[in-house]
Structure 1
Amino acid sequence: MILKNSVGIVTGASRGLGKAFAEALLKKEAKVVICDIDHEEGAITKAEFDEKYGPNQTTFVTCDVTSPSQLKDLFSQTVQKYGKLDILCNNAGINNENIWEKTISVNLVALIQANYLALEHMRCDRGGQGGSIVNMASMSSFQPAPHAPVYTATKHAVLGFTRSLAEASRLGNFGIRINAMCPGFVNTSILETLDQEEILGMFYQFKDIGKHIMHLFGVLEPSVIGDAFIQLVEDDSLNGAAMKITASKGIQFENF
């Protein structure tokens, strides 16, 4: 895919990985709708991007991805402003084992809803122009994490959903490539949850196991994951792929 003048949506884009994904697209001269529940942080990010890339390259939309109506409005506003949608990056995610229902709502339910909304606008067999969807999974999609079982469950589910929807797109000639990013530990605020008993709940006792796993894999910077994201979006041969990224081994693709 040629990214210049393409249009993308990135959820959870005011900081961390989402901000890195949005900036990676901007560097390729794409137009980006940055979506986040945090209006104040989103406005700061929008202003920063305006300064670097010009005010017409980005739009900020305040959106709680767990609200079906707000999520639907996000897609409608994008298509109304730019006339199309080429890329969706489902990045919004949390880790909260204490309020586990919310973790499932954000990490899985909202992601599925966003995928289906993207299909409505992008499917070639329904008048769309095709495109690329990238769903944020994790190295937790492949292994147990005793300190975060619900978070791990959502990431296993994201990977299974992504691969299945990618196969449906292939069989149905949707013209949409759907892939999963599975990074290890990344230097974002979610790492702080390893030390928060109010987040890990009864699994706080296993926090040192999580820290040991983090030490084994190493910690990546968001910009590294942003570059890998561009590879997934640009490579037209990739559909249903699971890109694993760790500090120790770099980029690898899972062989299923």
Structure 2
Amino acid sequence: LFLDFVCLTDVNAEVGQATLEGFQKTYGKDNAIFSRCNVVNEADFTGVFESIKSKYGKVDILVNNAGIIEEKNWRRTIDVNLVGMMQGTYLGIENMSKEHGGDGGVIINVASSAGLQPVFFSPAYCASKFGIIGFTRSWADNPSNAHNGLRFCCLCPAFTETNMMNISENSTLSIEATKKFIEYVGVNKISTVAEGFMDLLTDETNNGAVMAVTAREGIQYKIRK
């Protein structure tokens, strides 16, 4: 499997452009583009696919990774984490399925270890991640996958070295208690999560797979088909 071209998306255009410059410096100017996208805005998301198809002709891999933790604004958490992922998946199916003129491919939806077990101090976040797993596995079980060329997987990291680690500011638990919980669970290195992601991506037999990545137990398939 060779990743020739990539489209980066983010709601923050400044960060997106900076990341794009790094990609282009490493992989070549014509091998990466950036398209600003608010995942809850259908027009934005549709525009991403239009940009990709205009530049590269097709989409083979879709990663729905947008996520926030805002327990005090739980509707936004559900909109971004769950509704945004669903919108991306439906657009991916529309643009990638052989039934619609695509070449097939893989859709990887990023959930969380919080989608595999209850987390009492972040119930809205937890609900969104449980929803991602249920939605993804339901699509993976769809009989149409046999001829549409698509497969669907879920990546479920625990706490990881990203800006999502500001969870203590948005949970329903005290900052001190949240920090103690994070210390107990441990924090993933980004490289470990990337290793798990690549395994999901390259194993063409794992439609419906759900992979957990934790600092304590490493990479583990919770469901593998």
| CA gap 1:214/1:100 in 2 versus in 1, 3 angstroms | same
Q: Pairwise mapping of residues 146-157 of structure 1 onto structure 2 (< 5 A)?
A: 146-157=120-131
Counterpart check, 1:250 vs 2:218: yes
Aligned equivalents of 2:62, 2:160: Cα separation in 1: 21
Q: More relative contact order in 1 or in 2 (CA 8 Å, sep 6+)?
A: 1
Structure 1 unaligned segments of length 5 or more: list them: 5-29
Aligned equivalents of 1:168, 1:255: Cα separation in 2: 16
Identify the residue that residue 47 of structure 1 maps to in structure 2. Answer: 21
Q: Is the 8 A contact 2:9 2:34 kept in 1?
A: yes
| CA gap 1:58/1:169 in 2 versus in 1, 3 angstroms | farther
Q: Is the 8 A contact 2:208 2:223 kept in 1?
A: no
| CA gap 1:213/1:143 in 2 versus in 1, 3 angstroms | farther
Identify the residue that residue 204 of structure 1 maps to in structure 2. Answer: 173
Q: Give percent identity, aligned residues only.
A: 35
| CA gap 1:254/1:73 in 2 versus in 1, 3 angstroms | same
Aligned equivalents of 1:171, 1:53: Cα separation in 2: 32
Q: TM-score, normalised by structure 1?
A: 0.83
Q: Is the 8 A contact 1:137 1:183 kept in 2?
A: yes
Identify the residue that residue 69 of structure 1 maps to in structure 2. Answer: 43
Aligned equivalents of 2:181, 2:103: Cα separation in 1: 42
Q: Is the 8 A contact 1:145 1:210 kept in 2?
A: no
CA positional deviation for 1:221:
1.6
Q: Is the 8 A contact 1:169 1:175 kept in 2?
A: no
For 1:218, the aligned partner's letter is G
Counterpart check, 1:226 vs 2:200: no
Q: TM-score, normalised by structure 2?
A: 0.94
Q: Is the 8 A contact 1:225 1:245 kept in 2?
A: yes
Report Cα offsets for 1:20-41 as digits up to 9, x if no partner: xxxxxxxxxx311000011111
Q: Pairwise mapping of residues 146-185 of structure 1 onto structure 2 (< 5 A)?
A: 146-168=120-142, 173-185=147-159
Aligned equivalents of 1:255, 1:74: Cα separation in 2: 31
CA positional deviation for 1:74:
0.7
Counterpart check, 1:215 vs 2:201: no
CA positional deviation for 1:208:
4.6
Report Cα offsets for 1:186-207 as digits up to 9, x if no partner: 011111121x1xx33xx134x5
Q: Is the 8 A contact 1:169 1:177 kept in 2?
A: no
**Aligned-pair Cα RMSD in Å:** 1.6
With 175-184 and 217-226 compared, the bigger mean Cα shift is at 217-226
CA positional deviation for 1:172:
5.4
Structure 2 unaligned segments of length 5 or more: list them: none
**Alignment partner of 2:91 out of 89, 112, 117:** 117
Aligned equivalents of 1:64, 1:253: Cα separation in 2: 31
Q: Is the 8 A contact 1:134 1:181 kept in 2?
A: yes
Aligned equivalents of 2:194, 2:7: Cα separation in 1: 16
Identify the residue that residue 16 of structure 1 maps to in structure 2. Answer: none
Aligned equivalents of 2:141, 2:217: Cα separation in 1: 28
Q: Is the 8 A contact 1:220 1:247 kept in 2?
A: yes
CA positional deviation for 1:51:
1.4
Aligned length: 224
